[in-house]
Each structure stands twice: as structure tokens, then as C-alpha cells.
Chain A
Amino acid sequence: QVQLQESGPGLVKPSQTLSLTCTVSGGSINSGGYFWTWIRQHPGKGLEWIGYIFYSGSTSYNPSLKSRVSISVDTSKSQFSLKLTSVTAADTAVYYCARVRGYCSADTCYYFDSWGQGTLVTVSS
């Protein structure tokens, strides 16, 4: 069973770049048919999709964050990473990495089937 684990600084200063990495184990990040995604959740609020990357490197981002977000993949390390630039206090949130099933089986697909435990990132000076 695939497992995902987020890692990175828990505290970032305003205007700096937030960088997180997700390590995938128990399954291949190279396997086609999955999108490797980032989601965040502001304290006490709902889920916000940030973006995803396919193992080939193709990406899609939330239009509201697109100008500040970059997601990359390192298949040799079985990792994918998030960079969010010019952060403010509004970027304080729990950040999750997750896997989306992108291939259809029995007429169903594009759902999150595995999640990391999440990591709290606080933006503060």
C-alpha cells in the first residue's frame, strides 16, 4: 500500500518561499495513471487543491495560486515537491500531499486514494 510523507520547514518568513517535499513509498511514483498532488487546509477551514504533477512532469495548478506555485518531481528519489513563492500569513495552513487516481476503472477516476498525514506550515516573522 502506497504511503506518502510530507517534509519541510514548519516556519517560513513572510515574502520567502515555502518548500515542501513528499516522499512516496510502497508504490512507484513512475506508475502511469496517477497524479501527485498538493492540497492545503487553513486552520479551521476547508480543503484547497493547490496543484498536481504527472510522473512525466506535466502539471496543473489552481488558478488562484498559479502565479506563485511550482510542483516538480524527482522520480529517482520517489519524491515530488511544492514551492510557493512570496508567502504571507494567509498561506499558513496544513499542507497535504496525496495521490489522485487518474485512470478510470469501472467508470470512476480522478479521486484521492492516498494521503500523507499533513504538515503545518506557519508564515511568521
Chain B
Amino acid sequence: EVVLTQSPGTLSLSPGERATLSCRASQSVSASYLAWYQQKPGRAPRLLIHGASSRATGIPDRFSGSGSGTDFTLTISRLEPEDFAVYYCQQFGSSLLTFGEGTKVEIK
């Protein structure tokens, strides 16, 4: 079973700053099967990125994803007030789905 480790656990930044979130897999993951989600309190997660780098429909271009193998990154180029939330990576492999434990992006 692939374990996804996200870092940092919490990122304290100001609006307008750049956010870089990491997702590291315990073994190589197909980039085609790596996705990122945003979750706000009391809400279901929202798909941001699939296939490691493809933005979902309606997602602003300040969100971008990259990576391959065991290291993947979600970048928010300039934080907007509505971007402060928790972000999860997710992968599929060997018929199993797994999530990382999340990174909270909070207002500094």
C-alpha cells in the first residue's frame, strides 16, 4: 500500500504570497493517478488537479501541479483570501486509493 506524506503540516502565509505544498509517496506512483483537492471547513473536498498537472474544470490558473515518481508538488502562485484551506493529495495503485494527511494553508 502506497503511503503519501504531505509537508509541511501547516503553512502560514499572507495573501499574495506563493505556496508550495509537497506530497511524497512511499513508492513510485503513476503521475496519471495523482490528484490534489482543496477542502474548506464543513465542506466536501473539491478537485483541483488530476494527472499530477491537469487543472480541473473551473480551477484558476494560479493553481499548478507538477512532479513524477515519488515527489509531487502543488503550487499556488499568489494566494487569494479564498485559498486558505486544507489541501490533500491522493493516488491510485494496486486497486487501492490513498490520501495524504493534508497540509493546512493558514493566514499569517
Contacts and interface: CB of A to CB of B under 8 A. Distances in A.
Interface residues of B, number: 27
B88 A107 contact: no
A104 B32 contact: yes
Nearest to A113: B47
Given A52-B97, A108-B50, A108-B51, A96 B44 contact: yes
A112 B47 contact: yes
Given A63-B1, A106-B54, A111 B100 contact: no
A110 B33 contact: yes
A110 B92 contact: yes
A46 B99 contact: yes
Contact of A115 (B1, B32, B45, B100): B45
A47 B45 contact: yes
Interface string B28-51: 000011010101000011110011
Contact of B88 (A47, A115, A116): A47
B101 interface: yes
A43 to B, nearest CB: 11
A100 interface: yes
Interface string A98-125: 1011001011111111011110000000
Interface of B: 1, 32-33, 35, 37, 39, 44-47, 50-52, 54, 56, 88, 90-92, 95-102
Interface of A: 37, 46-49, 52, 60, 62-63, 96, 98, 100-101, 104, 106-113, 115-118
